[in-house]
């Protein structure tokens, strides 16, 4: 984590003379809601920490608040009226013992540094951002995608249950995230790629498609020009 933080600071310093890093002490949280255009790197560890790398004026306007164990990262409301407010590049490094939910609203991105384990994990993506998690271990995952964003999961163990709901043109890639039972609902032009080993419930409304591997039993319903197809 420290190596990634130093690299980000060096890159930002090259672009902005006032680039800086800031550590924020916050209440304990297990959910993250990213509402700004930033790259958030998540690491699971014993001690919680939040480090932000950005130019000074951006750090002054960036709000990190915890309510009901949810960390919300946003700009102060007044920034919505600032047409000339330029945030520049923002990198956020978070270490947390436990994680139960990740949300991206807008064009932000979340990825992970190192293994990530959560018994139940909720993932929500709205807008054009992304969530990409490698080396994920979870029993149950619920993924909701609205807009044009993309979500990608990979792991080395089988999940018991995976639920995916896509509305819009967004996409889900999980062929490297093996799951026993999968339910996928696609409305719009989005696509889902999954690896299911037991039972697949597939619902398509519109031009989107569901691509699968793993030889599952299939219960499918298609309305429109979409398809459910084996890889």
The helix or strand, by DSSP H or E, that contains position 9, with its residue range, turns out to be helix 2-15
pLDDT category, 77, cuts 50, 70, 90?
Answer: confident
- For residue 112, is it within any domain? yes
- For residue 153, is it within any domain? yes
Domain end point (choices 67, 97, 127): 97
Domain count, the chain: 2
- Residue 228's alpha-carbon distances to 22, 185, 197, in angstroms, are 47, 11, 16
The values of phi and psi at residue 37, to 5°, are: -80, 90
Q: Kindly state whether residues 117 and 218 are assigned to the same domain.
A: yes
Interval 192-225: pLDDT, tens: 999 999 999 999 999 999 999 999 999 999 999 9
Q: Kindly state whether residues 190 and 213 are assigned to the same domain.
A: yes
Q: What is the extent of the structural domain holding 54?
A: 1-78+89-97
pLDDT category, 16, cuts 50, 70, 90?
Answer: very low
Mean pLDDT value of segment 87-99: 97
Q: Kindly state whether residues 122 and 104 are assigned to the same domain.
A: yes
Long-range own/partner contacts, residues 202-210 (CB < 8 A, 24 or more apart): 202/228, 204/228, 208/166, 210/184, 210/186
Interval 147-189: pLDDT, tens: 999 999 999 999 999 999 999 999 999 999 999 999 999 999 9
Q: Kindly state whether residues 177 and 147 are assigned to the same domain.
A: yes
CATH number of the structural domain spanning residue 189 = 2.160.20.120
pLDDT category, 13, cuts 50, 70, 90?
Answer: very low
- For residue 83, is it within any domain? no
pLDDT category, 94, cuts 50, 70, 90?
Answer: very high
Supply the pLDDT for residue 80: 55
Supply the pLDDT for residue 17: 46
Q: In the structure, how many helices (H) and strands (E) does the chain have?
A: 2, 21
The values of phi and psi at residue 3, to 5°, are: -60, -45
Q: Kindly state whether residues 93 and 190 are assigned to the same domain.
A: no
Mean pLDDT value of segment 69-77: 94
Supply the pLDDT for residue 85: 74
Burial of 185-200, coded b for 16+ CB within 10 Å and e otherwise, reads bbbbbbbbbbbbbeeb
pLDDT category, 86, cuts 50, 70, 90?
Answer: confident
Supply the pLDDT for residue 18: 63
Q: Kindly state whether residues 212 and 136 are assigned to the same domain.
A: yes
Contacts of 130 (CB under 8 A, 6+ apart): 104, 109, 110, 149, 150, 151, 152
pLDDT category, 83, cuts 50, 70, 90?
Answer: low
Q: Kindly state whether residues 110 and 216 are assigned to the same domain.
A: yes
Domain end point (choices 97, 126, 160): 97
| pLDDT(38) > 80 | yes
| pLDDT(93) > 50 | yes
Q: Kindly state whether residues 199 and 104 are assigned to the same domain.
A: yes
- For residue 84, is it within any domain? no
């Amino acid at each position: 984590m420290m190596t990634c933080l130093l690299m980000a600071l060096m890159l930002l310093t090259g672009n902005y003379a006032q680039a800086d890093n800031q550590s924020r002490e916050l209440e304990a949280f297990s959910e993250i809601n990213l509402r700004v255009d930033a790259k958030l790197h998540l690491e699971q560890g014993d001690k919680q920490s939040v480090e932000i790398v950005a130019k000074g004026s951006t750090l002054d306007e960036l709000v990190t608040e915890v309510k009901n164990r949810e960390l919300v990262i946003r700009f102060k409301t007044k920034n919505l009226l600032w047409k000339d407010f330029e945030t520049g590049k923002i990198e956020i490094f978070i270490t947390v013992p436990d994680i139960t939910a990740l949300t991206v609203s807008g064009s932000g991105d979340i990825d992970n540094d190192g293994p990530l384990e959560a018994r139940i994990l909720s993932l929500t993506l709205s807008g054009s951002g992304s969530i990409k998690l490698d080396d994920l271990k979870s029993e149950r995952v619920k993924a909701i995608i609205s807009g044009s964003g993309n979500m990608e999961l990979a792991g080395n163990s089988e999940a018991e249950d995976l639920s995916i709901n896509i509305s819009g043109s967004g996409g889900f890639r999980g062929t490297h995230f093996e799951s026993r039972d999968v339910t996928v609902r696609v409305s719009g032009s989005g696509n889902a790629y999954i690896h299911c080993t037991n039972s697949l419930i597939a619902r398509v409304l519109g031009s989107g498609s569901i691509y699968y591997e793993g030889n599952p039993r299939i219960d499918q319903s298609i309305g429109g020009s979409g398809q459910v197809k084996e890889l």
